[in-house]
Chain A
């Protein structure tokens, strides 16, 4: 069973209904570590050594964060800047993360319909996530499609309920031996058929 590390970054977690639901739903799952960055590093003073050790103990890394200004909250960016060191994560000697799987789990205020060339945001979420994708590539990790809960500004309780169950299923799916080939046709993990069968 694959070990999952959820790097959760939310500067105002206590006010986020959606993220609370998602995180609480997967908390306690076997072989899943939830690492709350804003709680751990409230002063932005990241313990790089500890973070590296944590990474090495896991097979799948999930960057779980709200999609703020088409990117992640500052502490997660800080984490990327500091932890993924040259010649450790990338560079000629940087093999520490080789072969691991990496993906984003995000929540967006705007709906999926607004993330397209015709929408208010002009580009798709996958396009905005390119920096993360390339970060994973540079570190020789396999980048999986993101799990996204979108349109949270107008999310109904029903859909929130479904979303958290789906997130739990996505975690289960990742822990079984899926490969990138299984996601050929989808741009979001949410669209994989296994998650949509009750």
Chain B
């Protein structure tokens, strides 16, 4: 029964749905739900998932791979450079400090120096998957804690490359021949001489960067031109799988490759599209990954030496927490932010699996050591959400300061975000005018040629179908203040406005319509900020005609304002009538008749009659009527 792939898939999905719903209901992080599901269906509790657990873990790593790809996408090299001090400083202190203390600890425990060094490296890394998932779930990305954690994790993700390059240098040369026996993956570099292994890793990184620029982006543009949406999904997967394969082929972590690939593509117009395409898959696969971690907690190993494992686990978490706390002190984080950081990153990360099995493959570690460390890693990851809950519910409330008050000023602009949909002639004018006032809008457009061109002109434009919730979400609609629908397709505007109104009622909508009939529809859907493109320009033209006929410009300007007010009022009244049918036609006729009357009256009175004070003739007439009043 357990051999059936379908059955396992059913177990995974059912377990996830059940446990995550329960976790969420209890107000816990979804990560706990997944881990618990993994433990339950794993070989040691119900045993639904058997020996294949390893394969599942391998497959589930795609979740981590995609997450790192997406993290990479979010880091534009420019931002990366801006953050270099925090990344290097905080990351350096954290990794260096943890490695040092852990190395001393494991040497004292009697491990050989090479083994202790490898373990120290593995222990220094935290779990990007767990930490980022939790941070995003709680919406803490913009806090000091969020950026600090992000910087540290980023540093770790990068330093892993060097660790992977360094570990082969520790391998015992006499065991090297047997290395192949352990390794069951196709790996190129393990057969190379040691110096070349490091070189190969650097080379593959360069390949990814170059390919990203000159191969992937042009390919995406071609795919986008076809207009077939699923092709873009396919392309997104092709990128992630392709990079992963290349990295695995060379023998280093596919997650790192994906991260680099993400960074390379972060400057392209496909950023948001890729993000929104992969996001749902990423979350499911990450869930699978967490379940696999839960399932791989080997209770037999634990049972063999519970105190040893428990002791080491506690020791590692304490070490990591201490180093993180000190890092927080050095970088002058507020106490609450510091505590969040301390407990948020105190676990061992998924890269430990990679590093440890890599070292095991090179015969640096023994089976027993590896088993123990894998269990400790999985346990420490499982403990993180629990520790965080204790921190949030017991420790932080006693500390007083709430993070929301401490938000730095520069996030105000970010939370006042404007999203501009459609960058044609209409939208681009809006965009240029906003930009000239220092207001940057996130621009979405569906024409990849135009997007390409505009990006060359230096605009921040993204390719994508804005009627999709996920794309709007990745464009940051949750924090947006205004969405401008500048597209000329009323269907698109209607779809967007419906979606925004339902899901993000706090966001103000400003919608372009071609004519009054489209305006009626939108007014009836409850939208109030309607801009008829036919109104202003035609009045400007009429104004200039009258000016050439000898009417005064200031007067005409004021008349335009009057006319617009008449017209907007009548538009709103008319919109309430059913759009078709006699009633509308009757009402419309009546309105048009009324408008004609307005115009006629204006004409008879002379053009201007809205400001009697400036009209001496009017005053004179009134005075004639009441001769007694002296003025």
Contact = CB atoms under 8 A, between A and B. Distances in A.
A122 to B, nearest CB: 14
B619 interface: yes
Contacts of A42: 552-554, 556-557
Contacts of A165: none
Given A13-B552, A38-B554, A154 B616 contact: no
Interface in A1-23: 11-18
A170 to B, nearest CB: 22
A175 interface: no
A153 B557 contact: no
Given A17-B617, A18-B616, A153-B616, A12 B555 contact: yes
B615 A39 contact: no
17 contacts: A11-B554, A11-B611, A11-B614, A12-B608, A12-B611, A12-B615, A13-B552, A15-B606, A15-B614, A17-B617, A38-B553, A42-B552, A66-B616, A68-B614, A109-B616, A109-B619, A114-B631
Contacts of B210: none
B623 interface: yes
B630 interface: yes
A114 B629 CA distance: 12
Determine the main DSSP class of B at the interface with A: helix
Interface in B574-631: 606-608, 611, 613-617, 619-620, 623, 630-631
A180 interface: no
A18 B620 CA distance: 12
Given A12-B555, A15-B614, 15 more contacts: A11-B614, A12-B608, A14-B606, A39-B554, A66-B614, A68-B613, A109-B619, A109-B631, A120-B630, A120-B631, A152-B616, A153-B616, A153-B619, A153-B631, A154-B623
Nearest to B609: A15
B625 to A, nearest CB: 12
Contacts of A114: 630-631
B560 to A, nearest CB: 10
Contacts of A109: 616, 619, 631
A110 interface: yes
Q: Specify which of B607, B615, B616 lies most central, judged by the most chain A CB atoms within 10 Å of its CB.
A: B616
A39 B617 contact: no
Nearest to A14: B552
Interface in A75-120: 75, 109-110, 114, 120
A15 B553 CA distance: 14
A189 B552 CA distance: 30
Interface string B375-393: 0000000000000000000
A37 to B, nearest CB: 9
Contacts of B552: 13-14, 38-39, 42
Nearest to B608: A12
Interface string A55-75: 000000000001010000101
B554 A16 contact: no
B631 A110 contact: yes
Given A11-B614, A15-B608, A114-B631, A154 B556 contact: no
Contacts of B620: 153-154
A194 B623 CA distance: 34
A173 B291 CA distance: 99
Contacts of A38: 552-554
Contacts of B619: 109, 153
Contacts of B617: 15, 17
A43 B553 CA distance: 9
Nearest to A75: B554
B465 to A, nearest CB: 39
Nearest to B614: A12
A38 B556 CA distance: 11
Contacts of A154: 620, 623
Contacts of A120: 630-631
A148 B10 CA distance: 96
B615 A15 contact: yes
A39 B630 CA distance: 33
A16 B619 CA distance: 12
A16 B616 contact: yes
Nearest to B631: A110
A43 B540 CA distance: 13
Contact of A43 (B557, B607, B614, B616): B557
B605 to A, nearest CB: 11
A66 B554 CA distance: 16
Contacts of B611: 11-12
Contacts of A75: 554
Contacts of B557: 42-43
Contacts of B614: 11-12, 15, 66, 68, 73
Contacts of A14: 551-552, 555, 606-608
A18 B617 CA distance: 10
A42 B551 CA distance: 12
A39 B553 contact: yes
A109 B619 CA distance: 9
Nearest to A15: B615
B276 to A, nearest CB: 43
B607 to A, nearest CB: 8
Contacts of B555: 12, 14
Contacts of B616: 15-18, 66, 109, 152-153
Which of A11, A12, A68: most chain B CB closer than 10 A? Answer: A12
A43 B557 CA distance: 7
Contacts of A110: 631
Contacts of B615: 12, 15
Contacts of A39: 552-554
Contacts of A18: 616
Contacts of B551: 14
A15 B606 CA distance: 9
Contacts of A153: 616, 619-620, 623, 631
A109 to B, nearest CB: 6
Nearest to B553: A42
Contacts of A17: 616-617
B22 to A, nearest CB: 64
A107 B606 CA distance: 23
- List the 8 shortest-distance A-B pairs measured between CB atoms, nearest first: A42-B553, A42-B554, A12-B614, A38-B554, A42-B557, A110-B631, A15-B615, A153-B620
A132 to B, nearest CB: 20
A15 B552 CA distance: 11
A109 B613 CA distance: 11
Nearest to B551: A14
